[in-house]
Amino acid sequence: MKDILRSLVDILGERGVSNAAEELWFYARDPGVLEAHFPDYVVAPETTEQVRQVVRLANEEKIPIVPMGNGMALTGLVIPLKGGIVMDMKRMNRILEVNEKARYAVVEGGTSQGALKAYLQDHHPQLRHSLPDAPPTTTIAANVSLHGQGRLTQQYGFNSDMVTGLEVVLPTGEVCKIGSPSLGPYWFSKGPTLPDLSGLFLGWLGTTGIFTKVGLKLYPNKKIRDVEIFVTDRVDLVPDIIYKLTHLEMLEDINAWFQPRPLMFKDNYHITMYFTGDTEEEVEFKRKMIWDSLEEFIVTKDGGFMGVGYMKPMLLEMPQRGIAAFADVPRGGGFEYSGPITLIEHYPDYALKVMELAEKYEVIYSSAARVVSGGHSMMFSISFAFNRADAAMMERVKKALDEATEFALEKGGIPWKPNYKEQRMTLEKLDPNTLKLLQMVKRNLDPNGIMNPGNWEVS
């Protein structure tokens, strides 16, 4: 039998491989509620060639391999469910190119959201990308691999829709370019007018290949950003309010949220609207349009605008640090969320379900929905915080999240970044021919089932 450790060291050097108890313990888990599972090795490549060689070795030896960004999907997607190799991608963090005029960037497969944000600020202040509110150490490649959403999702769709090309190491070890980079030096289109092969990888949670390069659309970075919050105590009105707002085609981002703490927020539904402009005039015009569009709810006394005052710097921060702080509400270092993608008209049902689950399982909730693509859908987050030192509370959160996913599936929603159990629930409900198609794709791309096994196990 091959000495795997030796082979890995040959490929990556001593600094790129570990099987020390400390790394194995750490890379066996993520910050969510799922059980840990130990890898056999942890590797950290610095080049596409190293990724390719490790994948080839893994494929030859039939060793599972799990690509990892920062492990913050929270749903255990980087837990090596079947052992093997965890590949920490964060050393591949270079920003390779920004095409200012064509508004795209090309980054390596472990580049963090924060690094791209800072780079654009320094070198291309006219441009921005759709930054999620995830901690800035999370990676761009991981985010598109799970169809993440960010600040510009309301306007332009899922962050994965903003991909302009990929370099992928296939499970069988070939390095494959997807989209315009497969034809020439430019990274402006992930598919059109070719058949869009990016669908073989985006949303697959690292089960069909490892992204070593990602091309990403950039957008104008307006000089001024501003924010308003509309509040109503009638959950049934939230879809109508969002409908009015999306009709304006003026908003950067729309988030509808509710939470029981601090008490000033209890029993109200808050719709935060972000808008931008290059001049005060433009911003004020948009503000007026927003106010006018919601006038009828004010007249009927069903809602009103809330002074954002002291909250403004926090709301305008990107990413919002305050969101991570939810983990410490039970003084406990943890939260996890399920975030089904669903119709906005279902908002009231989901909202009631969150509260029902929180009461049933005695856990602390918070919920923030993000509008996708001008209102075609939303990501409805069902977040529960927990105390990591309280195993029983973590178990209750796990159950509450499972039930939330069952509910979402019943309502025709699509689980987002589902954990392996939620994936199973989804596959069970899937149209049989769709499942068959998934199987065909997976079997052909990953004949030995080495890529992030346990996830999207369609066989």
Partner 1 sequence: MAYVRSIEHADIVHRCFRCGYCKFPSDYVDFNCPSHKAFGWDTFSSGGRMWLIRAWLSGEIETSPRFAQILFSCVACGNCEAQCVYPRFKDFLLNIFEETKSELVDEGKIPPTVRDYFKAITVNGNPYKLPQDKRGEWSEGMGIEEFSGQEYLFYVGCVGSYDEVGREMARSVGKLLKDLGVSFGILGAEETCDGNEVKVLGEKGLFTALAEENIIKFKAKGVKKIVTLDPHALNVFRREYPKLGGAFQVRHYTEVVADAIGGGRTSFGPLKTRVTYHDPCYLGRRNLIFEPPREVLRAVPGLDLVEMRRWAVDSFCCGGGGGNFFTDVIGTGEQSPARVRVREALETGAEVLAVACPQCAKMLVDGVKAEGIEDRLEVMDIAQLLSRAGLA
Ligand X SMILES: Cc1cc2nc3c(=O)[nH]c(=O)nc-3n(C[C@H](O)[C@H](O)[C@H](O)COP(=O)(O)OP(=O)(O)OC[C@H]3O[C@@H](n4cnc5c(N)ncnc54)[C@H](O)[C@@H]3O)c2cc1C
Applying CB under 6 A, does 155 fall inside the site for ligand X?
no
- Please pick, from the candidates 59, 111, 130, 138, the single residue that binds ligand X as defined by CB under 6 A: 138
75 vs 80: CA distance, rounded Å? 12
Kindly write down the DSSP assignment for every residue of 81-112, as one continuous string.
Answer: TT-SEEEE-TT---EEEEETTTTEEEEETT-B
Applying CB under 8 A, does 119 fall inside the site for partner 1?
yes
Residue 347 interacting partner from ligand X, partner 1, none (CB closer than 5 to 8 Å by kind): none
x/- string (CB under 6 A) for ligand X, residues 317-356? Answer: ------xx--------------------------------
- Please pick, from the candidates 17, 105, 146, 404, the single residue that binds ligand X as defined by CB under 6 A: 146
Closest residue to bound ligand X by CB: 69
Q: H/E element holding 168? A: strand 163-169
- 181 burial type by CB count under 10 A (0-12 exposed, 13-18 middle, 19+ buried): buried
- In 241-328 the beta strands, taken as DSSP E runs, fall at 253-258, 269-277, 303-306
Residues between 96 and 115 with contacts to partner 1, criterion CB under 8 A: 112-115
Kindly write down the DSSP assignment for every residue of 106-117, as one continuous string.
Answer: EEETT-BHHHHH
Applying CB under 8 A, does 51 fall inside the site for partner 1?
no
Q: What is the DSSP secondary structure assignment for residue 362, as one 8-state letter?
A: T
- Stated length of the chain: 459
Applying CB under 8 A, does 332 fall inside the site for partner 1?
yes
Applying CB under 8 A, does 5 fall inside the site for partner 1?
no
Return the number of the residue (133 or 228) whose C-beta is nearest ligand X. Answer: 133
Residue 382 neighbours by CB distance under 10 Å = 27
Tell me the angle at which helices 391-410 and 420-429 cross, rounded to the nearest 10 degrees.
Answer: 20
187 vs 95: CA distance, rounded Å? 13
Say if residues 134 and 322 touch (Cβ distance below 8 Å).
no
Applying CB under 6 A, does 134 fall inside the site for ligand X?
yes
Applying CB under 6 A, does 409 fall inside the site for ligand X?
no
Q: H/E element holding 378? A: strand 377-380
Task: Provide the minimum distance between the beta carbon of 333 and ligand X in the complex, in angstroms, as a whole number.
Answer: 12
Applying CB under 8 A, does 424 fall inside the site for partner 1?
no
What is the Rg, in whole angstroms, of the alpha carbon atoms belonging to the chain?
Answer: 22
49 vs 239: CA distance, rounded Å? 49
Residue 20 interacting partner from partner 1, ligand X, none (CB closer than 5 to 8 Å by kind): partner 1
- Please pick, from the candidates 148, 239, 303, 454, the single residue that binds ligand X as defined by CB under 6 A: 148
Task: Provide the minimum distance between the beta carbon of 171 and partner 1 in the complex, in angstroms, as a whole number.
Answer: 25
Nearest to 48 by CA among 109, 5, 94, 138: 109
Applying CB under 6 A, does 227 fall inside the site for ligand X?
no
Task: Provide the minimum distance between the beta carbon of 24 and partner 1 in the complex, in angstroms, as a whole number.
Answer: 9
Two tokens at 49?
A: 């060639």
Two tokens at 401?
A: 């999240």
Two tokens at 260?
A: 């029981």
3-state DSSP assignment of residue 25: helix
Residue 143 interacting partner from partner 1, ligand X, none (CB closer than 5 to 8 Å by kind): ligand X
Applying CB under 8 A, does 139 fall inside the site for partner 1?
no
Residues between 248 and 307 with contacts to partner 1, criterion CB under 8 A: none
Binding range to partner 1, per CB under 8 A, among 68-76, 195-203, 259-267, 423-431: 68-76
Site residues for partner 1 per CB under 8 A:
15-16, 18, 20-23, 25-27, 31, 42, 44, 70-72, 88, 90-91, 112-115, 117-119, 121-122, 135-138, 321-322, 324-325, 327-328, 331-335, 387-389
Under the rule (CB under 6 A), what is the footprint of ligand X? 66-74, 77-78, 89, 109, 132-134, 138-139, 141-143, 145-146, 148-150, 205-206, 210-211, 323-324, 452
